[in-house]
Structures are given as C-alpha cells and as structure tokens.
Amino acid sequence: MKNWWKILCVLLLFYTLIAGFLMPIPALPILNESIRNLYFHVTMWFGMIIHMIVSMVYSIKYLSKNDLRKDVIAEQFAITGMVFGIAGLLTGMIWAKNTWGAYWVNDTKLNGAAAAMLIYAAYFILRGSTDEESKRARISAVYLVFAFPLMLVFIYVLPRMTDSLHPGNGGNPAFGKYDLDNNMRLVFYPAIIAWSLLGVWISTIRVRIKNLWKQAEE
Amino acid sequence: MLQQIGTLIKKEWLLEMRAKSSLAGILVYIFSSLFISYLSFKQIVDVATWNALFWLLILFTAVNAIAKSFLSESRGVQLFYYSLLSPQIVIISKIIYNGCMLFMLAVFTWFFYGIFLGNPVQDCVTFMITLFLGCFGMSSVLSMISAIASRAGQQSSFMAILGFPVLLPILLIIIHLSKNAIDGLNFNTNLKYITLLLSMNLMVPALAFILFPYLWRE
C-alpha cells in the first residue's frame, strides 16, 4: 500500500465536499451560509504555503547538491503553489464580495497574497529567460531563496502590525475564538489535509512527467 | 576583510568620478522627473500623495542607479575580482557603496522636491532616519537583484520585474514610517517600524552574503 495517501486524499476530498456543504454551521450575521467558504478559501492558503516551503527547501537542496532533479521538484511545486494561491485569491474575492461588499478591498492580507503571486510570476519569467539548464536552475534558486523570507515578512509580519478586515487581525476576533464551533473543526482540519495532499499529488505527477520529457529529449 | 571592502568602495567611487556622465545622468534623471511631477501636479495639498510620489521617485531612481552596478561590469572585470577577492566582499562593498550613493541622491531629491512641491515634513529627524534605512534596504535588495539580472544576461527592465515584488514589503514599511514622520507623530509610535526596518536591513544583506557566492560559481 504505497499509495495509501492518495486514497486518503480522495476520501477526505469527498468528505470535505459533502460534509462541507451539508454539515450544520453556526448561524452568524453577515456571514450566513458563506462561512462554508472557510473549507475552500482558508485551506488554499495552507496548501500554497506548504508548496512554497517545499519549493524553497528543494531550491536550497539544489544549491548545495547541484542535482538538476531537485530543480525540477522546486519548479513544479512552485507552479502548483501558484495555482493554489490564485484559487485562494478567487475564492477570497467571491467571499469578500458577499461579506465586505467588494471584490477587492485594501487589506494587508490581500496585498500580501498579491505580492506573493507577483514574486512567483517573476520567478517563472526568470526561469524562462535563460536556456542553459544548470544556469537557469542556479539563478532561479538564488532568486527564490532570496525572495522567500521577504515574502514571509509581507504575509506574516505586516498583517500583524496593521489593521485588517480578516478575523484575528487588528482588533477583529479570530475565527477560532467565537465562530468556529466543533462541528466546523470536524470538517476544517480534514479539509486542510485533503487539499494539501491533492496539491502534493498533482506536483509529484508533474515532476514525473517533466522527468520523462527530459529523458525523451536525451 | 574590512580593508578590502574599503578599497573596493574607493574603487567604485574613483570609477564613478572618472566617468562622470553616469552620475550626471542620474542627477538629470532625478531633476527631470521632479520637474515633470511639478508641472503635472503644480501643488500637492494631500500629504499622503506627497509621500507616495516622493518614494516612487526614489524607487525609480534606485532601480536606475543600482541597475548598472553589476550589469555594466564586463566578464573580464568580474573574473578579475573573483580571482582576487571572496564573493562576499564584493557584494557587501556593492551594498554599502550603493546605499551611500542612494542616500545622497535621496537627500538631493528631497531638497529639490521640497523646493518645487513644498516640504510638509514635521519631524525631520525621523524622516532622515527613514531615508537612511530605506536607502540601505533598497540598496541591499537591488544590488542582489542586479547581480541576478546580470547573470540572467538581461536588460535593465529585468531589474523592475524581479525587484519590485521583492521590494514591496520594505517599501510599505518605509511609506508608513515616513507618513508618520511627515505628520510629526510621537517617536514611540514609530519605534516598531524603525526596528522592523532595521531588522530587514540586517536580514537582506545576510541573505545576500549567503547567496551571492552561488551566483558567482560558473
């Protein structure tokens, strides 16, 4: 049973979808039924961060070992991370429209997420600009390792210093404190695992495809 | 090591003085962009706009001034350094030199900006601290980005693509702090921003110190 985690992923995804839409939720003003978006919006950020960390770790590994397979992993995880980030932004925008009244509000967390997307877009542009494989791998790994801590400052430090509309920041109570009852936790935590596993699954398949392409070229 | 850094900084300055056209070019660049802002705005009443425009001018000056620090050096010159010095010394001296240079340019910009568009700054000491820390922060990020861009063999437009997303967190802190300085807020409220900026100023050169040798190897 080498693939137990893939089965787990599919089961948990079904659970997330079914329970996420059907399980009871606390009746809250403004949020109403939209609180169910918690299982689809917040979980995207967990998935994104996991992918970005993996991508950075493999960039460091590439720099120390000079092994091009590490670079392939770093690149593919960055791509999936960016897909998760865009999905997080989109689900967040729909939620924001229905609760805050606009698709985009000037909020530190939104700006941080958008900046993270910009950094990864720059990373892919940098990758596309050089043809030589080892050079491309080294330069982009250096850029990613350089940009990642600055991005973390943007995503984790700045929102804690300024006001934000998000719960848990700037005087707004955290979700966990009042809103998230135990019924929601029963879905929320498995949902995080499910989406993250799905992302890892996609990335590993992409890595294998990329490696096969490279073999075919040789 | 300190002596080597000193020698390299002196060399940069001598080169700058020998080819005065590049420094003069930057000064004219600042002056003409100031003049354009003056003609398009005539007068700025809103302090937030004054602040944002000022830092945008500094940002574009910084990108233009620092872009050349690695892009203009030929392969021969770079090889020569590498046979003589350790890469860490090269990047640290570049950061210090560009920081000093940018600080002087920023003070120059502030002076003429004040003449043309008025100077609403109430707390000049804090504003100077912001200028100083901000210039060194920008210099450390952009020196490293310049090295990456030169390795990728790209034009200076790459500086903006790679640099702006990474600069965003630093720029946001600077703009906050300088807005506080303009409004003349109590120093204690600024303290957390100053410490954050200071820690960024330590973190980014440390990252450059670790990562630059990898860019070097070829």
- Is 60 exceeded by the pLDDT of residue A171? no
Question: Average pLDDT for residues B62-67, to the nearest whole number?
Answer: 88
Q: Tell me which residue in A125, A145, A161 faces B211 most closely, judged by beta carbons.
A: A145
Q: Which residues of chain A does B215 touch, with a Cβ-Cβ cutoff of 8 Å?
A: 138-139, 142
Lowest mean pLDDT among A58-72, A115-129, A148-162, B129-143: A148-162
CA distance B141 to chain A (A): 9
pLDDT band per the 50, 70, 90 thresholds, residue B156: low
In 3D, which of B182, B179, B170 has the Cα closest to residue B144?
Answer: B170
Residue B20, pLDDT > 80, answer yes
**Segment B30-35 mean pLDDT:** 92
pLDDT tens per residue, range B109-130: 999 998 888 888 888 888 999 9
What is residue A179's predicted lDDT score, i.e. its pLDDT?
Answer: 57
Question: Residue B82: its pLDDT value, please?
Answer: 78
Give, as one character, the DSSP assignment of residue A156: I
What local confidence, expressed as pLDDT, does residue B80 receive?
81
pLDDT bracket for residue A158 (50, 70, 90) = confident
Q: Which of B16-25, B70-79, B144-153, B196-205 has the lowest mean pLDDT?
A: B70-79
User: In terms of Cα–Cα distance, which of B140, B69, B135 is closest to B108?
Assistant: B135
Q: Is B117 on the interface with A (CB under 8 A)?
A: no
CA distance B95 to chain A (A): 15
Whether B151 and chain A come into contact, CB under 8 Å, resolves to yes
**Alpha-carbon gap: A116 to the closest alpha carbon of chain B (Å):** 8
pLDDT band at A101 (very low <50, low <70, confident <90, very high): confident
Q: Which residues in chain B touch residue A161, judged by CB atoms under 8 angstroms apart? A: 192-193, 196
Mutation target to probe the A interface, by most A beta carbons within 10 A, among B138, B157, B171, B172 is: B172
Residue B79: per-residue pLDDT: 78
CA dihedral A139, A140, A143, A146 (to 10 degrees): -100
Mean pLDDT, to the nearest integer, of B11-26? 85
What residues in A contact B200, CB-CB < 8 Å? Answer: 150, 153
pLDDT of residue A61: 93
Q: Which of A130, A158, A162 sits opposite B152 (nearest CB)?
A: A130
Contact A158 B172 (CB under 8 A): yes
Query: What residue of B is the nearest CA neighbor of A155?
Result: B169
The reply to whether B217 touches chain A by the CB within 8 Å rule is: yes
Distance between CA atoms of residues A131 and A149, nearest Å: 27
* Cα angle value A53/A176/A156 (rounded, 5°): 35
Q: Which residues contact B73 (CB under 8 A, 6 or more apart)?
A: B150
B177-193: pLDDT as tens digits:
998 888 888 888 888 88
Look at residue B217 and tell me whether its pLDDT is greater than 80.
no
pLDDT band at B160 (very low <50, low <70, confident <90, very high): confident
**DSSP secondary structure string for all residues of B86-150:** -HHHHHHHHHHHHHHHHHHHHHHHHHHHHHHH----S-HHHHHHHHHHHHHHHHHHHHHHHHHHH
Give SS3 for A85: helix
Q: Identify which of A126, A142, A154 has the shortest CB distance to residue B211.
A: A142
Four-residue CA torsion sign, A30, A31, A33, A34: positive
Chain A contact for B166 (CB, 8 A cutoff): yes
Instruction: List CB contacts (< 8 A) between B207 and chain A.
Output: 145-146, 149
Please tell me the pTM assigned to this model: 0.88
Is the pLDDT score of A174 beyond 60?
no
For residue A196, what is the enclosing H or E element?
Answer: helix A182-217
Percent of chain B past pLDDT 90, that is, above it, reads 37
Query: Of all residues in chain B, what percent carry a pLDDT higher than 70?
Result: 98
Per the CB < 8 Å rule, is A138 touching B215? Answer: yes
Q: What's the pLDDT at B77? A: 78
